[in-house]
Amino acid sequence: MEIIKKIELMQELSDKWRRDGHIISCVPTMGFLHQGHVELLRVGRDKGDRLIMTIFVNPTQFGPHEDYERYPRDTEGDLDKARSAGVDAVFMPTVEEMYPDGFQSAVTVNTITQYLCGKSRPGHFAGVTIVVAKLFNITKPHLAIFGEKDYQQLAVIRQMVRDLNMDIDIIGVPTVREQDGLAMSSRNKYLSPEERLSALSLKKGLDLAKAMIKDGEKDSATIKTAVRELILAHPFTEIDYVTICDPEKLTDIEHLDGPSLLALAVKVGKARLIDNIIL
Ligand code: AMP
């Protein structure tokens, strides 16, 4: 497995692979890998014949009071997991390599970045789009794999790729969960044992909504209220949003008669957790 820190060397390797007729998959991550990431790697391995994983904790997608400084890191553990997953190259640049002095460009996706996490994390998706666009130009993949746990991120990237005619297939992978249902996340590391129990309220909220709909409930407000009450009945929880919206446009839905997305963001202690389900 190659470990590459310089942009130019990554581009040279990808160029060579492309000249040799290989299909390149790319899995962008911020490291501290868990089974969710490993599943993305499995899909990437399956769909391409050269697999690149990137590890970069991207400062531009964190707000000033967010967890950039304390975001968990474990490079050695990540490289071991990457090797076992059959990764051919890990691209792990420094911040200076990605954002040298004088950097001044932006990639803006306008509308769908305004909703859900875009409301409570202003600037977050601008950080995501610029870094993903750069990583695509550096790793030159045919395919890129993203998790559905970060539903809005996946939607924003699909929009960017479509709008800018990037010649890359974007593949979404269903959320990988712990045995008890908690969506795997690097941020779960922040949870104390008591908070870990309360964190289950997100999945319980999704299940409750599913059950209500099965029983015939179609009023979005009624479902959202029940989900909020369930979550707030758990200690240490603070709701950022509970939203039922159109799965593509991400605009609010009042009455459920077609497919819709239930998306949650909840702070549990210091960890801001998200989860979602298509209803
Ligand atoms: P991160 O390292 O958290 O930025 O995530 C890197 C990629 O892994 C993103 O595409 C995430 O959506 C995806 N991912 C994170 N957690 C999960 C999960 N539990 N199941 C599936 N994909 C995930």
* pLDDT < 70 regions, the chain: none
pLDDT of residue 20: 98
pLDDT of residue 106: 98
pLDDT of residue 14: 99
The CA 173 to ligand 1 mean position distance, Å, reads 9
* DSSP track, 9-61: HHHHHHHHHHHTTPPEEEEEE-SS--HHHHHHHHHHHHH-SEEEEEE---GGG
Contact 236, 272 (CB under 8 A): no
**Could you read off the pLDDT of 134-148 as tens digits, one per residue?**
999 999 999 999 999
pLDDT of residue 36: 98
pLDDT of residue 132: 99
- CB of 71 closer than 6 angstroms to any ligand 1 atom: no
List, in order of start, the domains of the chain with CATH numbers.
2-173 (3.40.50.620), 186-278 (3.30.1300.10)
Q: Which of 29, 53, 75 to mutate to test the pocket of ligand 1 (most atoms within 8 A of CB)?
A: 29
The CA 170 to ligand 1 mean position distance, Å, reads 14
Known catalytic membership, residue 22: no
For residue 187, the ligand 1 atom closest to its alpha carbon is: 3
Contact 168, 268 (CB under 8 A): no
pLDDT of residue 188: 97
The CA 28 to ligand 1 mean position distance, Å, reads 9
